[in-house]
Structure 1
Amino acid sequence: MSIDIFGFRALWSPFYFTALVLITVGYFMMVTKFRDRFQNSSPVSLKQVIYFLLAMVLLYVVKGSPIDLLSHIMFSAHMFQMALLYLVIPPLFIIAIPKWVWRFVLEVRGVKSLFHFFTKPLFALMLFNILFSLYHIPLVFDFIKTGMLVHAGYTVILFTTAVLMWFPLVNQLPEHESLSGVKKVAYIFGSGILMTPACALIIFADSPMYDTFTNAESWASAMELCVPATALSGLTLSGPEMFNGLPLLEDQQLGGVLMKVIQEIVLGYVLGVIFFEWFKKENGGGSEIDPIPSEFQTVK
């Protein structure tokens, strides 16, 4: 059965799209018209603008497009969504925000000390991976997926801790640099290792683990998070198998594989960038870690 039966609002999230457009407009106003209100501000680079727009497009793709609806129907879509949301989007945002904005925020009373504490490399790495692993314990997963406020809150917390985890690796502020080249390599390997147990549990399970993808009643409760009640009221649904052609166990295993493969691709790419930047630094170049190392003109 086609997911079109859930309606335009469930498929394309127009209110979420509007919110992202307003945030994008706010970003451009801040880095252009209101830039002079920030101390030691400078023109934002075209590279940063591209990163910000890419991050916003990906945010809409994973949380506003039909992928978000599919993430409540197919476990593999859920894991693909999480991989982009926590492994790809945070480093783009960190680099897209100008240094002078970061400095302005970190000078706010109380923020600097808290931020310094939560971005300590080992702590930030452990915090995100513990929360990620807890999320995928079946009892916790099913509880979060069936509560609107709990699901929204945990998603925000996970995204925030993902930003904190990525900050020591791609941060552009020299005064907040906490990892050297060799330590960054160790950090990347540590990140890959810490996510492995949760992915392995999902991949090698001998039966489907989550009620919200196997139990019709739990699944219906989970669907209420992304489908308006008016769209659900006239439908008779027996479960996600109505829309998912994959057997439940294979869909679950595919989800674990997708998460791990995307993580390895992202971390492998960043590892290559770190070696590139190390080589450039040793030969008298800069030392900023940038997922796409290239030079662009500035935007006035």
Structure 2
Amino acid sequence: MNVAWWCSGTGQVWTWRYTPFIGVWLVAAAFIGSYVAAHRRAGQPLDRTLLRRWCLGVLALFVVSEWPIGQLGAGYLATVGVARYVVYTFVAAPLLLSALPTWLIDRWLPFGSRRERAVSFVTRWPVALLVFNVVLFGTHVPVVVDGLKTTQLGSFSIDVLHLSAGLVWWWPAIRRERARNAIQEPIRAFYLFASSVLMFVPAAFLTFSPLPLYGLYELAPPLWLGFDAIADQQAAGIVMNVVGGFVLWGIIAALFLRWARDQHEDDEVTRRAENVVRLAQARASSADRDEP
């Protein structure tokens, strides 16, 4: 069976022999090269922390797109296909987005430009929530998977949709610029919680369906004895439900703890300022009483 993986030439018959995908290497190099070049053109120094995040995000994309994970997810195992979606959406997208400095976003999306207005619209949290779930449900519908993943263009389109929807969805939750649609607590908690709940719906269909949903994976040659299309599909549902849920809830917990810490620090600053004011008022009152 030939798999129409977007970075392979004419489709690949599965073999355990290592097959480098040059397209994946070129895309990863382009991501890192464009990031460094943008800093050099702007005359800005590279922040090591942000560069590390960007490289980790690119590495996540690379690992799940290179051999063997990329080809396995393209047409052999639904479990690997769902795992790739989880990494694209919940690992690579937030890492890449958090690595963008504010000045670079302002440079790419100057206020008032058409690009800025378009991005501003899709990253408003109600729209971003809708976009994320439309892509989540739409790209896991059997007719879409069986119709698109059989062609290189369709396979590439699904990967682009997953990464793009992940970037749009994470934008209001990660970015801190209020002018760029950043949301604060408690709306952010509701936003992330709603997404985690809605993700369980397609996962339930995969886990509890008595029949194979995807002809693409059902007709693929089995790679391991005893791991048929039903077992593969159930494992895919568990990966989406458990692994994706744990990743998302871990991020929710981290964001909540950061918000609680920031609130505590703000309260401490306010309390110290009030104490300084009270002390100054007490000294002024004492000085007035001491005057003859």
2:29 counterpart of 1:21: yes
Residues of 2 paired with 1:130 and 1:177: CA distance?
A: 20
Code of the aligned partner of 1:248: A
Post-superposition offset of 1:81? 0.8
Identical columns (%): 21
CA contact (8 A) 1:44 1:98 kept: no
Instruction: Tell me which of 79, 84, 90 is aligned to 1:81.
Output: 84
**Do the aligned residues in 2 keep the contact of 1:74 with 1:240 (CA within 8 Å)?**
no
User: 1:67 corresponds to which residue?
Assistant: 69
2:213 paired residue among 206, 209, 217: 209
Partner of 1:5: 15
Say which is worse superposed, 84-93 or 22-31, in terms of deviation: 22-31
Q: Cα distance, 1:4 vs. partner?
A: 7.0
CA shift at 1:24, angstroms?
1.1
**CA–CA separation in structure 2 for the residues paired with 1:88 and 1:244:** 31
SS at match of 1:18: helix
Q: How many Å separate the matches in 2 of 1:154 and 1:75?
A: 14
Work out the CA distance in 2 between the residues paired with 1:102 and 1:127: 21
AA aligned to 2:97 is I
Amino acid at match of 1:111: R
Residue 288 of structure 2: aligned partner: none
- Among residues 160, 164, 171, which one is paired with 2:168 in the alignment? 164
Relative distance call for 1:172 and 1:279 in structure 2 (3 A) is: same
Q: Is the 8 A contact 2:123 2:171 kept in 1?
A: yes
Q: Which runs of 5+ in 2 are unaligned?
A: 1-12, 267-292
**Matched ranges for 1:27-46 at <5 A:** 27-31=35-39, 33-36=40-43, 43-46=45-48
Distance, in Å, in 1 between the alignment partners of 2:225 and 2:106 is 47
**8 Å contact 1:199–1:257 — kept in the other structure?**
yes
Alpha carbons 1:181, 1:274 under 8 Å: kept:
no
Q: Is the 8 A contact 1:86 1:162 kept in 2?
A: yes
Unaligned runs of 5+ residues in structure 1 are 37-41, 216-238, 286-300
In the other structure, the counterpart of 1:103 is 106
Q: What residue is the counterpart of 2:255 in the other structure?
A: 274
Aligned to 1:298: none
Residue 173, structure 1, aligned to residue 180, structure 2: no
Alpha-carbon separation, structure 2, partners of 1:244 and 1:85 = 29
Q: Deviations along 1:72-123, whole A, 9 cap, x unmatched?
A: 2111111111110112111101111111111111217201111111011111
Alpha carbons 1:99, 1:172 under 8 Å: kept:
no
Contact 2:189 2:252 in 1 (8 A): yes
Partner of 2:221: 240
The residue number in structure 2 matching 1:50 is 52
Provide TM-score, normalisation by structure 1.
0.78
Describe how 1:248-259 pairs up with structure 2 within 5 A. 248-259=229-240
Cα displacement (A) at 1:17: 0.7
1 CA distance for matches of 2:58 and 2:173? 21
Size of the alignment, in residue pairs?
Answer: 252
Residue matched to 1:224: none
Distance 1:45 1:280 in 2: 24
1:91 and 2:55 correspond: no
The residue aligned with 1:188 is: 192
Structure 2 length as normaliser, TM-score? 0.80
- Residues 109 and 116 in structure 2, CA contact (< 8 A), matched pair in contact too: yes
Q: Is the 8 A contact 2:174 2:182 kept in 1?
A: no
Who is 1:145 aligned against?
A: 149
Distance in structure 2 (CA, Å) of the matches to 1:174 and 1:250: 46
1:30-75 CA deviation, whole Å, 9 max, x = no partner? 22x3232xxxxx5342211111111111111111231011112111
